[in-house]
Structure 1
Amino acid sequence: MLDLAPDLILVLIAAGFFAGFIDAIAGGGGLITVPALLLAGVPPVQALATNKVQGIFGAATAAVSYARRGLVDPRKQWQAALAAGVAGAAGAFLVSYLPTEWLRFVLPVILIGIAAFFALKPGLNDLDRVQRVAPAVFAITIVPLVGFYDGLLGPGAGSFYMIGFVTLAGYGVLKATAHTKLLNFASNLGGLLAFALVAKPLWSIGIMMGLAQIAGAALGARLAARIGARLIKPLLVATSTLLALRLIWQMIG
């Protein structure tokens, strides 16, 4: 059991709230919580495992919130969610066989890539556009691929689901965001079940962060449903960029 100072625990709880808020709006809450756990001194694999504990709270809250507002029908997503869960578990099992220090170097690259996509891609709004792949093809290709990444690494998975829905399924930004939540919950849950066997999640820290995620996710989903892409895009770009710069600064220092 890692002994964390009370002030660090408070910082992690605050990170959980902010991550729930960001994840409900734009996806990528793990882009906040995993770096926060690493900065608190939690070893990489344990940070990934603990991130799954707290992540399921926020993803479930956001999924329910969007479903209540009629933006998504979870009953039509259960097969894709099952694929995401199995792929997430497979990715998490693989973590124990790979070196993990590379996580500190990969995260800034992922963050900057996501920020660049949403900052530079023209025409990203709440209007649906041309569908490039059928829903069944999307469910058996993109969903397992992102789900596997979610279990293996995690941060940014919600954003990758959303990018897939926007660019391939033809969804507007708000609709895409709503459709990512059940999939994100499923791949988080699959990853957590695997991590419970191969790693040692910090359960108490994860649950405390998760409870904060519930509050953040409920608030974020409410605001996103009202404002849509005008809120989602700039918030995701700003958060991803700032976190990338923070991690780069830490590596240089």
Structure 2
Amino acid sequence: MVDLVILCVFAFAAGLIDAAVGGGGLIQIPALFNVLPASPPAALLGTNKVASACGTAFAARSFVRKVVIDWSLVIPAACAAFAMAFVGAATVSLVPQSLMRPAVLVLIVLMAIYTFWKKDFGALHKPMRIGTREKLLAIVIGGAIGFYDGLFGPGTGSFLIFLFIRCFAFDFLHASASAKLVNIATNVAALMFFIPTGNVLYLIAIPMAAFNILGALTGTWLAVRKGVPFVRALFLVLLLILIGKLSYDLLL
């Protein structure tokens, strides 16, 4: 019972952070592996995905009600992410994780430096006119991030937010909302593997999902209420945490 309470607290925190800037897995996955060390890794990952998918869905629902979404970009990106998440998962065994970690670490460090020094990055929402080129770019972004999510995973939401700002001139709030909708696609792709293969601990996953949803609704409310400066600051904090975790993993 105590273990479940601890996991629900972490699920709430993960939902809150993930709703605003992504990165909930950095909180929820280590909690599951530490509290339930005897459980199979696949079952813990499936349990995490059920909880986070529920939170993501409710966060996206809240964002859609409060933020204008550019569906002409989001839908192609989400479809490509869904398809490529399967491809990424299928090629996990072909790409050594020892090569992925340093490459991702470098990318996140560059993202953090760029965001920190470019003070107006993501400050204003001035989306460009959406034509065929922009839609194709959205497909490329969605496909690449979906593949990465299936292959490795950490920082998926952060990469999406950064690319929506950099490529389409979104502000942080609109980029975060759009990222949540694309994340739904990759979550569904993952659940189509975990659920049929029995890799979900439902007695743990269902309470965690409820608290992840509560956290997601809180995080969405904070993001909308506090606005772009709050989301930008939280984004930078998350990037620093990602840099610390990936650096630590490389040293082990």
- TM bucket by the smaller chain? 0.7 to 0.9
Q: 1:7 is matched by which residue type in structure 2?
A: V
Pairing partner for 1:21 from 16, 20, 32: 16
**CA distance in structure 1 between the partners assigned to 2:32 and 2:102 by the alignment:** 16
Whether 1:224 aligns to 2:223 is yes
Unaligned runs of 5+ in 1: 1-5
Q: How many residues align?
A: 247
**CA distance in structure 1 between the partners assigned to 2:77 and 2:102 by the alignment:** 27
Q: Closer, same or farther in 2 for the Cα pair 1:149/1:48, shift >3 Å?
A: farther
Q: 2:181 is matched by which residue type in structure 1?
A: L
Normalised by the length of structure 2, the TM-score is 0.80
**CA distance in structure 2 between the partners assigned to 1:168 and 1:180 by the alignment:** 13
In the alignment, what sits opposite 1:12? 7
**CA distance in structure 2 between the partners assigned to 1:9 and 1:209 by the alignment:** 8
| 1:107 and 1:244 in contact (8 A); partners too | no
Pairing partner for 1:122 from 101, 109, 119: 119
In the alignment, what sits opposite 1:178? 177
- Residues 85-124 of structure 1 correspond to what in structure 2 (within 5 A)? 85-95=82-92, 97=93, 109=105, 113=109, 115-124=112-121
Pairing partner for 1:55 from 52, 55, 59: 52
Q: 2:88 is matched by which residue type in structure 1?
A: G
| 1:92 and 1:195 in contact (8 A); partners too | no
In the alignment, what sits opposite 1:208? 207
SS in 2 for 1:168: helix
**Shift, 1:93, TM fit:** 3.6
**Shift, 1:68, TM fit:** 0.8
Q: 1:183 is matched by which residue type in structure 2?
A: V
Pairing partner for 2:81 from 58, 79, 84: 84
Q: 1:141 is matched by which residue type in structure 2?
A: V
**CA distance in structure 1 between the partners assigned to 2:103 and 2:209 by the alignment:** 22
Q: Closer, same or farther in 2 for the Cα pair 1:76/1:145, shift >3 Å?
A: closer
CA deviations over 1:157-211 (Å, ceiling 9, x no partner): 1111111101112111111111111110111111121233567233332322221
Unaligned runs of 5+ in 2: none
**CA distance in structure 1 between the partners assigned to 2:32 and 2:194 by the alignment:** 16
Q: Closer, same or farther in 2 for the Cα pair 1:46/1:226, shift >3 Å?
A: same
* 200-209 or 57-66: bigger deviation: 200-209
* 108-117 or 80-89: bigger deviation: 108-117
Normalised by the length of structure 1, the TM-score is 0.79
Identity of aligned residues (%): 35
| 2:79 and 2:142 in contact (8 A); partners too | no
